[in-house]
Chains A and B, each alone.
Chain A
């Protein structure tokens, strides 16, 4: 075989032509690749952004301070402090009123234990059934100015002294009938405590 014959044979072998639609097919394939890359990238980015946004919203709802107790003011306000104090009191009452596993009949003879089971204690315990929703104190703190407070105290003391002085015999033994003081309740705090009960009174 001569050099020329070899060149001719090689050229005949390798110089084949592709199909007429090959270029269009390559264009279509490139367009699909580019479209998929752009669409996939945009779709992935949008999905990631939506996931992050959803996570932020859920986190804000779950962990935001005051979430789950709508209507409560900020922690710094007087009402919020009062609610927090009430919550502490009721929690302590739950601890005190919960029967211990070793508690038995002997506890019933304990004056302190009996006193803790007084109606006041039961009332306190009933208020702690719903721990998640702090209840508002029906005797809420009344905020008045110092001048008004002094005036109210002076009014109450004057009224009491007038009533005592009007009795026939202030030195007489026995109960003294005192009319109800509707107005003098202003500025008087409710004493929230449990009075111990003597064993003799129960018998």
Chain B
């Protein structure tokens, strides 16, 4: 911005610069969280990155109301989750659900950290994903968020904006259904 404009509206310019800097920080620290939320729904690397990027673009447009770190992360998780579900439904409408499932397998194969997974491990992972997909959405989001980065009940409660007791009960139900499906 021009120097005269800086002199005229120094507060405004400083606010914009602060917003840019803070958003950059949020992007670095929350990019993995957003990607994993999208990944847990889509299991397709490119789709998950597209959804996470879309969520960050939306977050940037509303960042003046999301400057608080906890509020930003909660908003980002919920937006990414809804966007990923929309993307999943769109993929199913296009008849590409099988492609997404195969994409998960392809992503696993492309991930260097999982090249050590044998066929048995891959089959177990596929079964677990199927069990997660079979959960009601309220239980599914709780079990996914609790599994991401070791989030505890309080953190999941903050991210979803629901009481901790509700998180505990839903987590208990979800784990029970998963164990039942995998046994």
Contact = CB atoms under 8 A, between A and B. Distances in A.
A31 B124 CA distance: 41
B156 interface: no
Interface string B99-141: 0000000010001010000000000110011001000000000
A16 B107 CA distance: 10
A23 B53 CA distance: 9
A26 B150 contact: no
28 contacts: A1-B182, A6-B178, A9-B124, A10-B128, A10-B143, A11-B147, A13-B125, A13-B132, A14-B36, A14-B40, A14-B144, A14-B148, A15-B148, A15-B149, A16-B35, A16-B39, A16-B111, A18-B49, A22-B31, A23-B27, A25-B53, A26-B52, A27-B27, A29-B56, A30-B56, A30-B57, A33-B57, A33-B60
Contacts of B52: 18, 22, 26
Most buried by B among A13, A25, A30: A13
Interface of B: 23-24, 27-28, 31-32, 35-36, 39-40, 45, 48-49, 52-53, 56-57, 60-61, 107, 111, 113, 124-125, 128-129, 132, 143-144, 147-150, 175, 178-179, 182-183
A12 B125 contact: yes
Interface of A: 1, 3, 6-7, 9-19, 22-23, 25-27, 29-30, 33-34
B128 A26 contact: no
A14 B39 contact: yes
Contacts of B107: 16
A7 B35 CA distance: 20
A17 B56 contact: no
Contact of B49 (A10, A25, A34): A25
Contacts of A10: 128, 143, 147, 178
Contacts of B147: 7, 10-11, 13-15
B154 to A, nearest CB: 17
Given A23-B27, A26-B53, A18 B45 contact: yes
Nearest to A27: B27
B183 A16 contact: no
Contacts of B111: 16-17
A17 B175 CA distance: 24
B83 to A, nearest CB: 14
A17 B57 contact: no
Given A6-B179, A15-B148, A26 B36 contact: no
Contacts of A25: 49, 53
Contacts of A34: 60
B88 to A, nearest CB: 15
B28 A23 contact: yes
Contacts of B124: 9
B144 to A, nearest CB: 6
B48 A18 contact: yes
A12 B113 CA distance: 10
Contacts of A26: 27, 31, 52-53, 56-57
B49 A19 contact: yes
B73 to A, nearest CB: 15
B93 to A, nearest CB: 25
A1 B148 CA distance: 20
Most buried by A among B48, B53, B143: B53
